[in-house]
Amino acid sequence: MSSKSMTSEQGGQRAYREFCASQPVPLSHQPWWLDAVCGPIEWGAAVVEGGVWPYFQAHRWGVPVVQLPPYTTYAGPWLAPMPERWPSHKRLRQEQRLLEALAVQLPRVCFFRQNCLPEFANGLPLVWAGFRLTTRYTYKMAAGQAVEDAYARLKNTLRTDLRHAEQEVAIETTFDARRLFALYRASLRHRGLRRPQAPFERLVAALQERQQGVGWIARCRHSGADVAGLLLAFDEQRAAVVAAGRIYDGAHSGALHHLYWEAIGFCLQRALALDFEGSMAPGIERVFRAFGAQPEPYLQITRPAWAWL
């Protein structure tokens, strides 16, 4: 591949797949992930030697937009690691060149919005390219802790909730996408939101096929009913909560907390960092903080139609 812009069928997919086959791109940037959540013909990518920028193009209110794919928290540019011997000024100049070359390949839509990966920190070249930057936050738990130490650091009230939940629910490992989605949909409805089911089922199948995911369901010990569910995706270094939800029936309020702790234990035992990829709503943030997770900023980038002129 040359340093010039590269194009191929379906918005750069062929060059993108070739790039990803030789680089350690993150989970949400993997071609198979994009195929699952977008559909194989609904996404494209800008590609240059040294970097890629995938995008999901859709229509809202009858106009073309670029937005985050379903069940995907991060998109945006990804740049290949640069030689460690390079001084900082050379790295920054290379980042600027790559981002400029990627940005000019993006589709000119009425509105553009993506969340960049937390490790992407140099957004200044994107400002020069006409994007607006907003800082948002996720919560993460670092790898390298013992499970016992992590449990000792939990908020006292959370440990109490976990003990009660352990008596009330049984945990089942499953890839049953319909059961998992039904529980996720219950939480969405509680918040007045909706999400498509088909991409979720395709993603669960892809994660199961590649052995890069695991799902848990909490069942009531008395009735056997499903009361909470959580889907986790992971690679060799990190994991992320894809979806989590519970039944709001006034009972089993700690069941979802129990599943989060199950996911934390799974990650700690495998030395995986865990990204909760959750909402910044105060009530949800309190739960992540109670688990001992730490806030980490990431950039949300937007670009209105007039900025393409």
Query: What are the structural domains of the chain?
Result: 9-129 (no CATH), 140-296 (3.40.630.30)
pLDDT at site 6: 40
Average pLDDT over residues 102-112: 94
pLDDT at site 9: 46
Task: Assess contact for 84 and 263: CB atoms under 8 A.
Answer: no
CB atoms within 10 A of CB 248: 13
3-state SS class at 251: coil
pLDDT at site 251: 82
Instruction: Assign 10 a pLDDT band (cuts: 50, 70, 90).
Output: low
Q: pLDDT exceeding 90 applies to what percent of the chain?
A: 86
CB atoms within 10 A of CB 284: 15
User: Is the pLDDT score of 1 beyond 50?
Assistant: no
Could you tell me where the beta strands, DSSP code E, fall in 68-210? 78-79, 111-115, 132-141, 169-173
Say how far apart CA 82 and CA 116 lie, in whole Å. 19
The pair of structure tokens assigned to 243 is 């979806």
Say how far apart CA 134 and CA 155 lie, in whole Å. 30
The pair of structure tokens assigned to 49 is 């030697």
Which residues neighbour 7 within 8 Å (Cβ) at sequence distance 6 or greater? 15, 105
Give, in degrees to the nearest 5, the angle at Cα 67 between 94 and 25.
45
Q: What's the whole-number average pLDDT of the chain?
A: 93
Q: pLDDT exceeding 70 applies to what percent of the chain?
A: 95
User: Is the pLDDT score of 4 beyond 70?
Assistant: no
The pair of structure tokens assigned to 56 is 């999901």
Say how far apart CA 222 and CA 167 lie, in whole Å. 10
3-state SS class at 128: helix
User: Is the pLDDT score of 30 beyond 80?
Assistant: yes
* Closest by Cα among 243, 245, 242, 234 to 268: 234
pLDDT at site 294: 95
CB atoms within 10 A of CB 47: 28
pLDDT at site 64: 92
Q: In terms of DSSP H, where are the helices of the chain? A: 9-21, 31-38, 88-103, 124-128, 147-152, 156-168, 177-190, 197-210, 255-269, 282-290
Task: Assess contact for 53 and 45: CB atoms under 8 A.
Answer: yes
Tell me the per-residue pLDDT of 189-206, one tens digit each, with 9 for 90 and over: 998 999 999 999 999 999
pLDDT at site 309: 57
